[in-house]
Amino acid sequence: MRVLFVVLGMLLIAPLVQAAPPSVAVEPAADLKAFRTNFRSQFPDLLLNGYVNGPYNFSKSERTQWNQIMEFPPYEFALQEGKELFETKFPDGKSYASCFPNGGIGIAQTYPKFDAISSKVATLGIALNECRDAHGMQPLNLTKGPPAAIETYMVHTSRGKPIDVTIPDDPRALAAYEAGKEYFYSRRGQLNFSCASCHVQAAGKRLRGDVLAPALGIAAIFPIYRSKWGDMGTLVRRFIGCNKKVNAQPVKADSARYRNLAYFLTYMSNGLPMAAPGARP
Amino acid sequence: MAYTILIRAMASGGTTTVETLVKHPMDSGFVKGKDGKIIPGHYIEVIEFAHNGNIILTGYWGPAISKNPFSKFSFKGGKLGDTISVSWVDNKGEHTSTSAKIM
């Protein structure tokens, strides 16, 4: 009799015990293909490499103004400053070149990278700070100022090279990628928009006075000189700005959230040519 | 502060076009900083362009010109190898000049 009750009891509680959700395979390569196909079917006349020019593909007046401002690229000063800072030796005699393959020249297109030792994604800005840390120096701002200038110089040496972000077959790397992907497609903030709301669903359309860039190719041009800022800014600077724009609470610049988002977003532009530093309204 | 001036002068068909990007904060003196205090005015007052030593353009700039101004103008004359020079002085008395050859 007691056995019967125990069995009945177990049968009753069984539905209340949640089974582990079925594991969905993380397939970045398949995601990339679907991402591209979505945009290319939306804009059949746009060449794949042209996506790096973002809003300028959709607005003649913005393109004309861009051509005018590029007579003397507005990031020229940051480029010069960045080169000087990049080549300045640390107090211990070493320099940034000692922390990167090929002395840091022509390698920016491989970032963000998954760091197997720290189990975290490292963007170029974070790698620069890790370099500083390894040589006994304080980390710098990840969004603007001198570190943005150094990034400006480093990405410039990679101009034209196809973006080449690697997602190793490591469950931690795949989890970081998946977290970035989830963030991209999740709604947030008072305005309840996701990144995709503007940069996928409304790509090429106007948002107030601006033309929205498609998410494909958007990572190829950072850091950018943004006329609105009158200054250079990194991808993270823009993430924080976008959060604020939808009245969502931004988080710290070096947080996992933005690292993973950068990982996903840059991977989605794999194969497209680096067109950084960029100039945007 | 390093005051860079980027300059490019190109001659074609008897006319020379001069483009410059001048690095300068051009603070108007009307803007408040994050601390709530006015950022003092710091702007170029006079800028001069010369061709082979002869002044061809004088600009009376001021607080209305925005940061890192870009300017472009053309003049009749000038040939390959001539010197175009530019110099400015600002309201704090700071000054810089540079020159380049016409391409």
A101: Cβ–Cβ under 8 A, 6 or more apart, which residues?
A107
Q: How many CB atoms lie within 10 A of CB A98?
A: 15
A105 occurs within a structural domain: yes
> What's the whole-number mean pLDDT along residues B84-88?
96
Helix pair A76-87, A146-156: axis angle to 10 deg: 90
pTM of the model: 0.87
Query: Where would I find the H helices in chain A?
Result: 2-13, 28-42, 60-69, 76-87, 124-134, 146-156, 171-185, 195-199, 235-245, 256-267
> What's the whole-number mean pLDDT along residues A164-169?
96
Which residue of B21, B24, B27 to mutate against A (max A Cβ within 10 Å)?
B21
A9 occurs within a structural domain: no
Q: Which of B67, B70, B72 sits opposite A230 (nearest CB)?
A: B67
A5 occurs within a structural domain: no
CATH of the domain at A243: 1.10.760.10
A1 occurs within a structural domain: no
Per-residue pLDDT band for A91 (boundaries 50, 70, 90) equals very high
- Which amino acid is located at A126 in the chain? I
B20 interaction partners in chain A (CB closer than 8 Å): 72
A134 occurs within a structural domain: yes
State the residue for tokens 């998410």. A215
User: What is the C-alpha separation between A169 and A27, in angstroms, rounded?
Assistant: 10
A80 interaction partners in chain B (CB closer than 8 Å): 4
Which pLDDT belongs to residue A21? 53
Which pLDDT belongs to residue A15? 53
CA dihedral A137, A138, A141, A145 (to 10 degrees): -50
* Domains present along chain B, CATH in parentheses: 5-101 (2.60.40.10)
Poorest-pLDDT segment among A11-15, A80-84, A240-244, B46-50: A11-15
pLDDT tens, residue by residue, A17-31: 555 555 678 899 999
R_g over Cα of chain A: 22
**Is A65 a residue whose pLDDT tops 80?**
yes
Secondary element (H or E) of residue A226: strand A224-226
A11 occurs within a structural domain: no
**Is A253 a residue whose pLDDT tops 70?**
yes
Q: Is any Cβ of chain A less than 8 angstroms from the Cβ of B68?
A: yes
Domain of residue A144: give its range: 27-281
Q: Catalytic site residues of A?
A: 242
> What's the whole-number mean pLDDT along residues A101-117?
96
List b or e across A124-144, with b for residues whose CB sees 16 or more CB atoms inside 10 angstroms: bbbbbbebbeebeeeebebbb
Which pLDDT belongs to residue A24? 73
Count of all residues that appear for chain B in the document = 103
Q: Which residue of B has its CA nearest to A81?
A: B2
R_g over Cα of chain B: 15
**Is A208 a residue whose pLDDT tops 90?**
no
Report DSSP letters for B62-81, one per residue.
-TTS-SS-EEEEEEE---TT
Mean pLDDT of chain A: 92
Q: Which residue of A has its CA nearest to B2?
A: A81
The ipTM, to two decimals, is 0.83
State the residue for tokens 């030792």. A117
Q: What is the domain count for chain A?
A: 1
B54: Cβ–Cβ under 8 A, 6 or more apart, which residues?
none
pLDDT tens, residue by residue, A139-164: 999 999 999 999 999 999 999 999 99
Which pLDDT belongs to residue B4? 87
Which pLDDT belongs to residue A270? 97
A12 occurs within a structural domain: no
**Is B67 a residue whose pLDDT tops 60?**
yes
